[in-house]
Structure 1
């Protein structure tokens, strides 16, 4: 793994890729294969944060010599993200989920966007779903189109499994809010990052991911939960849902 090329601003030279993982031995290999093929060459480091897994997640990581394994014993996505933040050394921290498959050109977009926009605090973009049918994929991806007016109104929209944020911005934010267990954590990141620069949601910054949550819990239900929590973070500063289901 190497440092990012010189097209980044002088104060932003390196990118750390961080992957939180809880019981992800089934999905993590494909994620790491994609990372090593498409991302690692321009990354300073790749870090997997094992969020108290009880399966073979660690054994998967150990099959990839260039990947750093870090344990976060207290379960929770925001705690895993925070552990990655505290461990990483890059100027930009790029977060993907363990069931994503970063495509060719993904990290190059991070370099290009932060290089072209000195005031950019955070970059995110939509999901596509590699394990949903064409119609269901279109319906699920359509959520991001439907939510765009909220983005234009508020200036922030985020996807937790597909974002890159400047380290100095995250430091100013005080890191991740560990009081948020799951729903709304990405909206909270975007809302607080917006105070320190532009939060760009780019439709070309697409991340293939699993649609397993929609498959198990239903698209309409999940879309409704995400929408309600977006509004709750927006107006109340905290999510409306504190419980969630681990889908593996």
Structure 2
């Protein structure tokens, strides 16, 4: 199986370099043939220029604004059987690719793999609060997947899906702009096979949204939209705070 990284980026000149650098370092360490695609989503800063400066990564442009549109544009730009969806402010830790292939190799019915974030720029107290939310997330994962059987849990910015299963599920829903995009993936792919959430697959990321909006407020918003998409099929929240120049 070949793996592709899809990295949506809108006005990420401050962080996209670290992200792509970490991806390429992990690809080199793994020794695998991996496609790395950065999706420039109408950036007005140096995002495209910085991403294009890395040998081993290619940049595609997605003119339709929005996170889901950018993920879809990247998905369509590669033919890899496994597609890793991360974000422009994430940092891939060593061993991440190994974990992905180990999990897919041992479970033929696995169609999506995801794991939690590690917020590298939050203080100890903030990280402890985030840990409480992930404890709740894990409980919800077990409840939804094994008891209610209504879906699973996927962390946006840290999930890998099987191309053929995602095509069968209908692909990305561009009507969803931000909140609920990962739950939509979880619910629809759970009908195609196994969707696993594991703490083995950690991803480093910036906590800038949590710091700006507040951890509790942000956690409650994500939780609300998780349940809304799971049981109503669409997100409850349609607007989100702009956290970078130009906004998204």
TM above 0.5: yes
Find 2:43's aligned residue among 36, 43, 53. 53
Would you say how many aligned residue pairs link Structure 1 and Structure 2?
A: 236
Counterpart Cα distance in 2 of 1:187 and 1:21? 21
Matching of residues 98-177 of structure 1 within 5 Å:
98-155=88-145, 156-177=152-173
Following superposition, which runs of at least 4 residues in structure 1 exceed 6 angstroms of deviation? none
Find 1:214's aligned residue among 200, 210, 215. 210
- Comparing 36-45 with 119-128, greater Cα deviation is found at 36-45
1:34 aligns with 2:30: no
Residues 99, 210 of structure 1: 8 Å contact kept:
yes
1:88 aligns with 2:88: no
Residues 27, 34 of structure 2: 8 Å contact kept:
no
**Matching residue of 2:243:** 247
**Matching residue of 1:195:** 191
Counterpart Cα distance in 2 of 1:214 and 1:84? 26
Counterpart Cα distance in 2 of 1:49 and 1:191? 25
Residues 39, 104 of structure 1: 8 Å contact kept:
no
Q: What is the Cα deviation at residue 43 of structure 1?
A: 4.1
Residues 158, 201 of structure 1: 8 Å contact kept:
yes
SS at match of 1:239: coil
Find 1:20's aligned residue among 8, 12, 20. 8
Scaled by the length of structure 2, the TM-score of the pair is: 0.93
SS at match of 1:66: coil
Residues 47, 69 of structure 1: 8 Å contact kept:
yes
Deviations 1:143-169 (A, max 9, x none): 121122221121210111000000001
**Matching residue of 2:224:** 228
**Matching residue of 2:149:** none
Matching of residues 64-83 of structure 1 within 5 Å:
64-83=54-73
- Over aligned residues, Cα RMSD in angstroms? 1.0
Scaled by the length of structure 1, the TM-score of the pair is: 0.93
Structure 2 unaligned spans of 5+: 146-151
Deviations 1:13-70 (A, max 9, x none): 2001110001001011111111111135424210000111111001111210210100
Deviations 1:76-107 (A, max 9, x none): 11100110111111000011111010000001
